[in-house]
Structures are given as structure tokens and as C-alpha cells.
């Protein structure tokens, strides 16, 4: 079994080839970050046009890098949503034509489902076996949710953010202090050596929704503080402490919600045995360490994704497609359509 994965939901054109055990034979990513950087964020029209130019070469190179030919493929998986509709359409139409022409099935994949299973991928070797039940915390530029997964097939969203996503807040605060897009890695770099306890930010709590994330208050407080400290000038000595404290506040809220989830599920007879971390923000070293520590203290295994599988990539899409194929989905290429909004498990 060889499955080609295609991802074009945002600003990365990616194609990957996996075998039937989930081993990643190739995973190529053409990033558009440099094209969007002058605008401080992703411009949808530019993204679509870039995908159109990159898709065929990226597929061709990925298939060659896997050491196979197009004719050897047994299935295709493509991100069908959620994401930028124009960007998704390019990947979906390309995948449909390819699968139809090769007379092989096409599996539509929810981008978030790709992230959810990505911590089980390895750069070398077959995918790691999943336990009967696990939790995945997905933190990316567009999403912040904890999911409860049973038997690879029942996916339940336990919480979400009431406003901004984690990555989005990293990007916006970074932009305010003059850092280039994407801001997450920049803030992490600047935070090194900074004092995470120097500035305190309030932890939002909602009595009626104790699980919900909310990052817009933190964003406003951080921007207000950055203005007071004149961080936008770029020369301030407070930059490292500010970034470390801001990163700490994000981690505090994430761990607070994780703990609340854990208190409800840990007593159940079929309690989850692993906590997986996914999405672009999962590349953050400080956060990874804190999640790992939290898991060790609760005797739960943590699954931290390899860096290559944190940000958007087609390997995770191919893997989620593989799991769909194993669940007996039809895979008729003509029935796949792109959707900008899409619920997990639908």
C-alpha cells in the first residue's frame, strides 16, 4: 500500500508518500512564508496562486523522493477543509484529477484530523501504535482544542477557544513588537534567557465554561504592556523578559485547561493513557517541556511530535487518509469537495 498525501489548506504546499504501516517515505513542503511576510500574515489570493504553481512540482518531487512512480500509488488523501477556500480548491482539484486518472481512491481529510494523529508519525519507521484512548491538544495558528480519541475513529472535541487561537496570539503580539511573521518562533527565540516570572498576566476563568480557552485578553494585556515598555522600538532590554513571561502565560492557561479535562476523565475505567501534542505551536520547546513534565506527574505518556510534523505537512494528511481507508470509506474522487469550515468527526 502506497498513499500520496496532499496539503494546501493555508500557506504550505506539501506532498508526502506513506506506506501502509504509516512509514513516511517522503514529505516535501514548499513554504510560502517569504511571499506573505511583507504583509505580516497570509494573503489568501497569493496563497491560491502559489499553490497552483507549486502543486505539480511538489507532487512530482515527492513521488520521486519516495523512490516510486505515480503508477505505484494505491490511494490519494487530500485536505478538504477547514482552511482558505481558494487554497483548498487547488489541492482538492489536483487530487481529484490525479486519483481519477490513476483509477485509485481519494480520501478527503479534515486538516485537524491530520494534526490529531501527527504525533504518532516518525521520520524513520512505521507509525507508532495508538492506545485505545488518548487525548490530543492541537495548538496552531487557527485552532486551540483538546480532542478525545477512541479507537482511532471516535473523535470528540472537548473544548475550543472563545476567541483567538494560540498561534494567532503569538503572531499578533510578535507583529506588534516588530517581529516578522510567523511570530511564534521569534518570540520563543527572544524568550531564551528571559525571566518568565517578571510580568504576570491574568488567567481567564469562565464559571459556565471552565474548559474554554480564551487568549484575546492576554493579547490585549501583552500589547498594552509592550506599549508601556516601548518594545516596538526594538532596542529595549525588557524584550526577553516580556517574551518569556508572555510564553509562560500561554503555557499556564493550556496546563490549567488540561488539568480540568484530566480531573474529569482520569477516574473513568477506560481513561486515556496518552496525551499527544500537535500543531505549529507544538514546536515550542518551553511548552513541550511543561507538557512532558505535566504528563510524567500524572503517569500518562506524552507524545510530542517530531518538528517536521508540527507545522502543516502532507505526511499527517496521508496518515489520516490511511486511517480512513482502513475504516472503509468509499474514496470516490468525484464526491470530494473543499469546505472552508468543517467539524472534526463529521
Q: Give the residues lining the site for Zn ion (CB under 5 A).
A: 140, 312
Question: Which one of 30-38, 140-148, 221-229, 321-329 is the stretch in contact with ligand KG4 (CB under 6 A)?
Answer: 140-148
32 binds, among ligand KG4, Zn ion, none (CB under 5 to 8 A by kind): none
Q: Do the bridges between strand 75-81 and strand 106-110 make them parallel or antiparallel, or are there none, so unpaired?
A: parallel
Please report whether residue 91 would count as binding ligand KG4 according to CB under 6 A.
Answer: no
Query: Whose Cβ is closer to Zn ion: residue 107's or residue 262's?
Result: 107
Name the residue with cell 478538504.
80
Q: Does 185 bind ligand KG4 (CB under 6 A)?
A: yes
Q: Which partner, Zn ion, ligand KG4, none, binds residue 283 by CB below 5 to 8 Å per kind?
A: ligand KG4
Establish if 140 lies at the interface with ligand KG4 (CB under 6 A): yes
Could you identify the residue written with the cell 507545522? 311
Q: Which 8-state DSSP code applies to residue 133?
A: E
Q: What angle do CA 195, 200, 204 make, to 5 degrees?
A: 135
Residue from the set 284, 314, 323, 333 that interacts with ligand KG4 by CB under 6 A? 284
Taking CA atoms, 124 is separated from 6, 27, 127, 298, 300, in Å, by 20, 12, 9, 29, 24
Question: Which is closer to Zn ion, CB of 183 or CB of 196?
Answer: 183
Choice between 100 and 176, CB closer to ligand KG4: 176
Give whichever of 119 and 280 is closer to ligand KG4, judged by the CB atom.
Answer: 280
Best CA proximity match to 106, nearest among 329, 340, 344, 343:
329
Query: Out of ligand KG4, Zn ion, none, which partner does residue 105 contact, by CB within 5 to 8 A per kind?
Result: none
Contacts 24+ apart (CB under 8 A), 308-311: 308/27, 308/123, 309/118, 309/119, 309/121, 310/118, 310/278, 310/279, 310/280, 310/281, 310/282, 310/283, 311/12, 311/140, 311/280, 311/283
Q: Measuring CA to CA, which residue among 71, 98, 128, 48 is closest to residue 302?
A: 128
* Min separation Cβ 139 and ligand KG4, Å: 8
Question: Shortest Cβ distance from residue 193 to Zn ion (Å)?
Answer: 29
Cα angle vertex 75, ends 90, 21, to 5°? 120
Contact criterion met (CB below 8 Å) for 76 and 98: yes
Question: In the complex, what is the shortest distance from the CB of residue 158 to ligand KG4, in angstroms, rounded to a whole number?
Answer: 19
Minimum CB separation from ligand KG4 for residue 169, in Å? 8
Should residue 136 be labelled a site residue for ligand KG4 when binding is judged by CB under 6 A?
no
- How many CB atoms are closer than 10 A to CB 93? 16
**How many CB atoms within 10 Å of residue 138?**
29
Stretch that binds ligand KG4, among 13-21, 99-107, 184-192, 328-336 (CB under 6 A): 184-192
Site for ligand KG4 in 306-335 (CB under 6 A): 311-312
Task: Provide, rounded to whole angstroms, the least separation between the CB of residue 279 and Zn ion.
Answer: 6
Nearest approach, Cβ of residue 287 and ligand KG4 (Å): 7
Residue from 81, 183, 196, 321 in contact with ligand KG4 (CB under 6 A): 183
Q: Is there a contact between 90 and 119 (Cβ–Cβ < 8 Å)?
A: no
Site for ligand KG4 contains 10 (CB under 6 A)? yes
Residue 167 interacts, among ligand KG4, Zn ion, none and using kind-specific CB cut-offs from 5 to 8 Å, with: ligand KG4
Give the whole-angstrom CA distance, residue 84 versus residue 116.
19
Which does residue 284 touch among ligand KG4, Zn ion, none (CB within 5 to 8 A, set by kind)? ligand KG4
Q: Are strands 144-150 and 133-139 parallel, antiparallel or unpaired?
A: antiparallel
Strands 154-157 vs 133-139: parallel, antiparallel or unpaired = unpaired
Where do contacts with ligand KG4 occur on this chain (CB under 6 A)?
Answer: 10, 140-142, 167, 170-171, 182-185, 188, 279-281, 283-284, 311-312
Amino acid at each position: 500500500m502506497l498513499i500520496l498525501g496532499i496539503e494546501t489548506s493555508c500557506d504550505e504546499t506539501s506532498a508526502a508518500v506513506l506506506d501502509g504501516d504509516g512509514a513516511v517515505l517522503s514529505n516535501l513542503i514548499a513554504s510560502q512564508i517569504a511571499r506573505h511576510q511583507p504583509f505580516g500574515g497570509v494573503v489568501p489570493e497569493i496563497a491560491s496562486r502559489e499553490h497552483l504553481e507549486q502543486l505539480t512540482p511538489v507532487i512530482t518531487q515527492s513521488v520521486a523522493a519516495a523512490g516510486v512512480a505515480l503508477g505505484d500509488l494505491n490511494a490519494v488523501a487530500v485536505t478538504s477543509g477547514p482552511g482558505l477556500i481558494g487554497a483548498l480548491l487547488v489541492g482538492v482539484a489536483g487530487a481529484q484529477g490525479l486519483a481519477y486518472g490513476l483509477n485509485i481512491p481519494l480520501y478527503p481529510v479534515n486538516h485537524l484530523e491530520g494534526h490529531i494523529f501527527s504525533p504518532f508519525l516518525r521520520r524513520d519507521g512505521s507509525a507508532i501504535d495508538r492506545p485505545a484512548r488518548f487525548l490530543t491538544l492541537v495548538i496552531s495558528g487557527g485552532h486551540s482544542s483538546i480532542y478525545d480519541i477512541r479507537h482511532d475513529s471516535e473523535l470528540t472535541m472537548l473544548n475550543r477557544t472563545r476567541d483567538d487561537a494560540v498561534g494567532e496570539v503569538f503572531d499578533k503580539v510578535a507583529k506588534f513588537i516588530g517581529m516578522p511573521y510567523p511570530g511564534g518562533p521569534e518570540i520563543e527565540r527572544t524568550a531564551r534567557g528571559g525571566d518568565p516570572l517578571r510580568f504576570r498576566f491574568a488567567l481567564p476563568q469562565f464559571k459556565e465554561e471552565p474548559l474554554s480557552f480564551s487568549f484575546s485578553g492576554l493579547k490585549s494585556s501583552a500589547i498594552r504592556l509592550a506599549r508601556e515598555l516601548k518594545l516596538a522600538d526594538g532596542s529595549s532590554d525588557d524584550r526577553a523578559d516580556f517574551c518569556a513571561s508572555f510564553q509562560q502565560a500561554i503555557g499556564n492557561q493550556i496546563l490549567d485547561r488540561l488539568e480540568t479535562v484530566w480531573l474529569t476523565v482520569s477516574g473513568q475505567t477506560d481513561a486515556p493513557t496518552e496525551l499527544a501534542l500537535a500543531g505549529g505551536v507544538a514546536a515550542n520547546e518551553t511548552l513541550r517541556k511543561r507538557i512532558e513534565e505535566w504528563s510524567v506527574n500524572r503517569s500518562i505518556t506524552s507524545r510530542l511530535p517530531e518538528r517536521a510534523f508540527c507545522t502543516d505537512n502532507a505526511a499527517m494528511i496521508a496518515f489520516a487518509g490511511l486511517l480512513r481507508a482502513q475504516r472503509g470509506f468509499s474514496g470516490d474522487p468525484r464526491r470530494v469537495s473543499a469546505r472552508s469550515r468543517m467539524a472534526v468527526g463529521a
